[in-house]
Chains A and B, each alone.
Chain A
Amino acid sequence: MPEYSAYNVKEIPRPEKRSFSVKSLKDRLQSRATALSLIIAIVTSVLAATLIPQRFLATEAQLEGWRAANRDLLPLVDGLGLHHVYTTPWFAAFILLASFSLLLSASAQFRTAWHKTFALPAGRDQKAIRATGPVDKLTEALRKRGYLRMAGGERLRYVKHPWGYWGNFLLHAGMLVTIAASLYIALTDQRGMLSLTEGEVHAPGAPWQSEAHGMLAGPLVVPEGVRLDRLDLQFNTDSTVDRVASELSFLPGTGAVAKKLVAINSILFHRGLRIYQNSTYGDEFTVEFTDAAGNAHREKLRIPHPPRIDKAGYEDFEVPWSPYGLSTKYYADAANTSMNSPNRLLVLRLMEKEREIARVSLKPGESGVLGDVRVRLVGVEKWSSLIFVNVTGMPVIFFGFCIMVLGGLIHYCTPPREFIIDRSGDACFLSWKASRFGEFYRDEYRSIITAIEAENA
């Protein structure tokens, strides 16, 4: 049986300093100072990414606005790639080093946990108390109180919650699994988002509204055409939306058309793809603008749905034929009675930066004047936004997270406590210790000793 004299990892001797070698590199990566430095480096990087707009999150206007306001910082920001922190080589290096450090630390913790679970501490504790009475009675009393026999012989060891020694290992192993699975997904996943008007088809290979894919995967291509047949909206009594669903048709080159439904919180699985109903949807207004010279411009204005009957959906547009911006909003019903009304009310505003130049309100089929432009609302159709995802390995992330949580729970909620019984002739010596948070369990120790003494009396 191996012996050890310490329960605390702090007391494990530190490795001696050596010249550079694989072993010294391993020691360096495993050192607590390295682990702490890497954690701080990663937190600092993440903080930088929250303070500096990131290209994948911010709009071009937000990015340019920030750059104009922080010109002095631009050499540093551009040099270090601080507009795309999570895809910089140095951030990848931090994650890689942290993963190695975690791997080494988890393997050391595995050995420590094994040792603490099954080994007997060397030598008798100076604070051990002398107990009288048969040892069998004593061990029976400990078993009754949840202490499990972990080592036997002349010296007995009884531990309550011995799995508590494995908490730290599981916590770190879970982190490792989660990081590895996240990395795999970041390299291999494919996703695309598109918005379709009712009746519109997205053909295989057609460009996405927005698209992202990992370094080891190409852009996502839908295996067959997808058509939005209908956007189905249902409303609560207070006119807020209750259900959002899209009826889709999948159009293979040959064979039958498959009709399927996707809704918020009801994922559609089709030919290896996961399809999500996005929470953006609304109406597309076809508006014809005729300028003073008689040139007609037909625009399709896709505007998000109003949240309630008395509130509007808003969107801003730039049109190539006008120097002014077009600010739009619409209400679900011009009469303010039904969210499903065909009688939408569209409001168009011509804007010169923040200043309104002209405004017009239109219902379907109506015409009006917006500044020196005549406008006609030609038609209204519904549009819906869908997310297509091709990803594997997601359950591994959640599994890793669960291991991590389990490790943390058993580390903080079930700290092991142990009794060592040293037989010595007719009597025996009892010592007790809690591996962590002993202050919480002082009463437990005293009550057990008192109870055992009472039973033996």
Chain B
Amino acid sequence: MDNVNAMYTGLTWLAVFVYVLATIANVSGVLFRKEKAEAFSYGLALCGLALHSMAIVYWWRVVGHGPYMAPSEVFSSDAWILMALFLLFTRLYPRIRPASIVVFPATFLMQALGLFYNPGIRSLPPTFRSIWLIFHIGFYKVALATIIIAAAFSLFFILKKRSAAAWLQRLPEPAAIDVYAYRFAGFGFIFWAIAMLAGSIWAYQSWGRFWGWDPVETWSLVTWIVFGIYLHLRRFFGWQGERAAWLYLCCLILSLLALFYTSHLNTSIHMEYLR
């Protein structure tokens, strides 16, 4: 068992190390307009992702279930989806590439955070063996990735408005940054909705109810509605720029609390994750 743990931990640390190298190359490439360094950082990120994938697949085979039970698995898969989706989105929308200076470090920080938890083997309780649970968890992870990308642009907007630093001036125009944040917030809103839908189908299959006002469910709904308010204000009340960016950062904090804090409340059935 020690060898198995050592193998998994070793692969994960190696991926973290490569991600750190990718971050260094990327930040220097974006901030100082070194195109070669930036391009190299994407190659390193792909290598990191490959190592990270190996670690996840290896652990999946060992424990017999996907990476969503132990906190170490949760953080690792969150980081993997963030990096994989970001690389995919940069293929679809090359203009969002500057968000890498937030996404790359967020990836290795999340993965490293997971390493502080014991990666002990946890069996899947019978209620957790549903395809809907996989969709439920998977789409929250996708939503988190898009929310972080939108947060990067909101942050850029605020910094760009408040500072004349040369590196900030190399980022896209504020109007463009604002639109990127808006659209990725919209993606987050929709993926969050899909995750809630899958969760309610899973709950109905497991307990005969689609909604139970469990603290996790309730905070997830509140977060989703607050994202809805943000989008509503942007679309119908003309909110944009710095005001919208600050509101979005509040949405980000709320979503992080909903994802990582409320499941620790004793009254939640989601607490079963942590037992």
Contacts and interface: CB of A to CB of B under 8 A. Distances in A.
Interface of A: 9-10, 32, 35-36, 39-40, 42-43, 46-47, 49-50, 54, 56-58, 86, 182, 191, 236, 238, 240-244, 263-265, 267, 274, 276, 278-279, 307, 387, 389, 391, 394, 397-398, 401-402, 404-405, 408-409, 411-413, 436-440
A438 B125 CA distance: 47
B145 to A, nearest CB: 15
B222 to A, nearest CB: 6
Contacts of B95: 439-440
B207 A278 contact: yes
Contacts of A389: 208-209
Interface in B154-213: 175-176, 179-180, 182-183, 186-187, 189-190, 193-194, 196-197, 200-201, 204-211, 213
26 contacts: A36-B236, A39-B229, A42-B225, A43-B225, A43-B229, A49-B218, A50-B222, A57-B267, A191-B209, A240-B123, A241-B126, A242-B123, A265-B130, A276-B206, A398-B197, A401-B197, A401-B200, A408-B189, A408-B190, A409-B190, A412-B187, A413-B187, A413-B190, A437-B179, A439-B180, A440-B95
Nearest to A174: B193
A405 B197 contact: yes
A436 B228 CA distance: 17
Contact of A265 (B123, B126, B182, B233): B126
A404 B193 contact: yes
Contacts of A36: 229, 232-233, 236-237
Contacts of B189: 408, 412
B91 interface: no
B129 A391 contact: no
B241 interface: no
Contacts of B130: 265
Contacts of A394: 204, 210
B93 A440 contact: yes
A341 B8 CA distance: 35
Given A46-B218, A265-B126, A307-B275, A439 B232 contact: no
Nearest to B175: A439
A47 B121 CA distance: 36
Contacts of B206: 264-265, 276, 279
Contacts of A408: 186, 189-190, 193
B115 to A, nearest CB: 23
Contacts of B222: 43, 46-47, 50
B106 interface: no
Contacts of B236: 9-10, 32, 36
B90 interface: no
Given A42-B225, A240-B125, A405-B190, A50 B219 contact: yes
A341 to B, nearest CB: 20
A95 to B, nearest CB: 13
Contacts of A307: 275
A412 B190 contact: yes
B180 to A, nearest CB: 7
Nearest to B193: A405
Interface in B221-241: 221-222, 225-226, 228-229, 232-233, 235-238
Contact of A412 (B186, B221, B275): B186
A96 B238 CA distance: 27
A279 B126 contact: yes
B118 interface: no
B66 interface: no
A265 B225 CA distance: 30
A452 B102 CA distance: 38
Contacts of B93: 440
A235 to B, nearest CB: 9
B226 A440 contact: no
Nearest to A387: B208
Contacts of B213: 49, 54, 56-57, 86
Given A50-B215, A57-B267, 11 more contacts: A36-B233, A39-B228, A43-B226, A46-B222, A182-B211, A263-B126, A267-B205, A279-B126, A389-B209, A440-B93, A440-B95
